[in-house]
Structures are given as structure tokens and as C-alpha cells.
Amino acid sequence: MAMNPMQKKARTSFLLGMFVTLIITGIIIALLFMQISKMKKDEAAIQYVDAYVVNEDVSSGDNIDGKIKKQTVRADACPNNAIGASNYADFISESTTAKISLRKGTILTNEMILTDGAEVSSDQRLQEYNMVNLPSQLTEGETVDIRLRLPSGVDYIVLSKKHDEILLMSNAIVEAYIMEGAELYATTYVDAGMQSSSSLTYVASQDVINLLNVDPNITAEAKSALAQRYSDETRAQRSTINNDLGKYTDDAKANIEAGVSESIEKQKTARADYVAGL
């Protein structure tokens, strides 16, 4: 039976629609296949490493023994200082404690914990100083000495490769303010891991020495270590500093006020810059 023109046109349109649908479906399937193939290649390219994570919430000061487990994690999501199989024994023991509170699943790093012999004593504090001249190329993690250079050219080591002692540092700051031309600055170790600490040569004033002896906030161990520095020989070094200070007796108060004012302004500027960058 012959088709009328309308039926023929409808059939042709139907077949054409089916053909177009098949083409579109084929393109979609091809694109999906290509996408899946790319995802598999990307997944294969991802590197994984073993790290230790906290398997339960841990509070600051808690022992972490039995509260961590080894877990395979993506290398690009793992901190450079994460604790893994290669350095586990260096940081983890039965007495290792958490320095900060940790949530379950946190990848453990050496900065989050306290190892044997590295306990935080009750007299340790974070102290900010903005009057110390720092090396222009100083980078995070480098070790420095803090030195006091007097106008006479004599150079003293105030702090050496260690946590600062607040009273000693404050004493050096005030005396640097008094003496015009004095400079409190930091020097960087070339290889802190291989180099020994510098021998300290700066001696605090008698007032600070007296305060060290009676300050209840300074531990007995710290007092003992500081007391060993004040021998007859070091007192002679103190005499040299006193002689330089004596040249500024009349201007001492004004110089200190000017130095403190400058430090306050620097601190305000640094704080404003910090807030603006948040």
C-alpha cells in the first residue's frame, strides 16, 4: 500500500530524530568514557604516604600513647613535618604529650607534640620584640643569636640559640635605648643543626641579677643556669658595659623614652598591617 505524502514525511522525521538521538547519545557516552579515563589517570598519578593521625579527640597536655594510628593519606594533603614511619621513633614514646588540643583525624606533626626532654616549663612565655634588627634574608625556622653592639664597637651575645630569657632581653633593650648608636640585632646560623651554640658574653645589671634571685616565676633550673654566668670574669665584662652607660647618665631617661615611643609606634604599625592582612 502506497504511503501518502504526510505519512512519508512523518516517517522520515521519526527516522531522522532517532538518528540524531543516537548520534547525541554516542557523543555523550564518548565524553563520559573520556572523563572516566582521565579520572583514572589522575587517580593513578596521585601519590600517597603513610602518616600518623589522632584516632580520638585529645586535649592539650594529654598523653597521646594509644591514641594515634598509621594511615595512608594523599601526599599533597600531608604536611612536610608530619610524623611517619621514618621519624616515628624520634618523636613518639609512652610519655609523648599533645602540645595543643587535637581533633580526631588530625595528621600529627612534630610541632603538635612534646617529646621527652622537651617539656614546657611554667616560666616559658611567647614574647614579641620589634626593636631587634633582623637579617634581611631571615626565613622561618632559622636559628639566630641576639647580640648587643655598643657605640664603642664592643659586641655582646645576649641570647644564643635558645628560648629567650625575658629579664635578660629586657635589660639589653633598655641599655640599647640608653646608649645612642648601640644596636640590638640578630645573626643567623649557617647550619644550626651542626653548629654549637655561641658562648654568652652579655651580663645583666646588678638590679636584674638581684631580681633573678627572688623572682618566683623563674624556675630553679633557670636560676642555676643564669647564676653560673655571673662569675668574677663576667662581672668584669659588666664593668665595660657600665662604663659605656656612664657616658649617657644625663640623657638616659630621654633616650629610653624616645626608644620606647619608637617601639610602640612600630608595634602599632605592625599590628595594623597584620589586621589588614587578615
Per residue in 69-99, pLDDT (tens digit) is 888 888 887 888 888 888 888 788 888 888 8
In angstroms, the first-to-last Cα distance of the chain is 82
pLDDT of residue 233: 61
* Positive/negative CA dihedral, 130, 136, 141, 147: negative
Lowest average pLDDT, out of 120-129, 185-194, 245-254, 260-269, goes to 120-129
- 245-247-252 Cα angle (round to 5): 65
Domains of the chain: 48-114 (3.90.1210.10), 144-276 (no CATH)
The H-assigned helical ranges of 120-179 are 166-178
Query: Is pTM beyond 0.85 here?
Result: no
At residue 49 the predicted structure's pLDDT band, cuts being 50, 70 and 90, is confident
**Chain center to CA of 111:** 8
Per residue in 13-36, pLDDT (tens digit) is 777 777 778 888 888 888 888 888
Packed helices 252-276 and 166-178: angle between N→C axes, nearest 10 degrees = 120
Per residue in 104-125, pLDDT (tens digit) is 988 888 878 877 655 555 555 5
Q: Which three cell numbers stand for residue 6?
A: 504526510
At residue 193 the predicted structure's pLDDT band, cuts being 50, 70 and 90, is low
pLDDT at 185 over 70: yes
| Average pLDDT over the chain, rounded to an integer | 76
Q: State the amino acid at position 189 in one-letter form.
A: Y
Q: What percent of the chain clears pLDDT 70, i.e. is strictly above it? A: 72
Q: State the amino acid at position 43 in one-letter form.
A: E
Residue 192, Cβ density class (10 Å: 0-12 exposed, 13-18 middle, ≥19 buried): middle
Rounded Cα distance, 235 and 230, in Å? 6
Q: How far is CA 200 from CA 164, 230, 273, 276, in A?
A: 12, 11, 34, 39
At residue 223 the predicted structure's pLDDT band, cuts being 50, 70 and 90, is low
pLDDT of residue 144: 74
